[in-house]
Amino acid sequence: MNENEKDILEEGAEIEAETGETAGETEDESPAKWYVVHTYSGYENKVKANIEKTIENRSLQEQIREVRIPVIDTYELKNGVRKNVQRKLFPGYVLVHMIMNDDTWYVVRNTRGVTGFVGPGSKPVPLSDAEVKPLGIKSGKINVDFGEGDLISVVAGVWKDTQGVVQKLDFSKQTATINVELFGRDTPVEISFAEVRKAN
């Protein structure tokens, strides 16, 4: 099991199935569990569509309840313009809410683009309730088009119309540190990503 697979099993997703059953059901309440399926890179949407088509064709709705690609709502900042985007939380992985048996295993495992279930060896391991709950947490993180060493312009706030070279990026705080001249010497100043853009 690689590090990405461990992360998925550790982080899990708050998922409520459209069938009305929640991911927090215990094994006694529902035999359906959430399983993580590994796919070829970029095949997540195709795999989801293919599994859903097979479910419909074979009337497997009671056994394969839902297929989901966990996404996170975020936004990018390019040239001072914000753009809302959805990013896959776990690229290369799809979650399937299903009752595991020979038939459902065969359907999912033999879907084009699927490389296997996440679990030791070839044995699929369902996500526990604790692993499922944290998945799908939404955050408003910004992806920026500049990095350390780039010249940026401050477009808002106290330091508006100032330019500086990025010394440090802090993605947890969503800030960039630049040096500005203060009292005749360079002083590091932390500025929000939302207030800066890459200089032309």
Question: Which domains are delineated in the chain?
Answer: 3-132 (3.30.70.940), 146-198 (2.30.30.30)
Contact 95, 163 (CB under 8 A): no
The per-residue pLDDT string of the chain (200 residues; one tens digit each, 9 = 90 and over) reads 555 555 555 544 333 333 334 444 434 455 888 999 999 989 999 999 999 999 999 999 889 988 988 877 777 777 778 787 777 878 899 999 999 999 999 999 999 999 999 888 768 999 887 777 666 433 445 667 888 899 999 888 778 888 889 999 887 677 889 988 878 888 888 888 878 888 87
Which residues fall within 8 angstroms of residue 183, CB to CB, at 6 or more apart? Answer: none
DSSP-derived secondary structure for 145-176: S--TT-EEEE-SSTTTT-EEEEEEEETTTTEE
Q: Are strands 71-78 and 142-144 parallel, antiparallel or unpaired?
A: parallel
- The reported pLDDT for the residue numbered 15 is 38
- Residue 104, SS3? helix
Sheet containing 185-192, strands listed edge to edge, beginning at the edge strand earlier in sequence: 185-192, 175-182, 163-170, 151-154, 196-198
The pTM assigned to this predicted structure is 0.52
- The reported pLDDT for the residue numbered 82 is 79
- The reported pLDDT for the residue numbered 81 is 81
* Separation of first and last alpha carbons in the chain: 45
Contact 196, 154 (CB under 8 A): yes
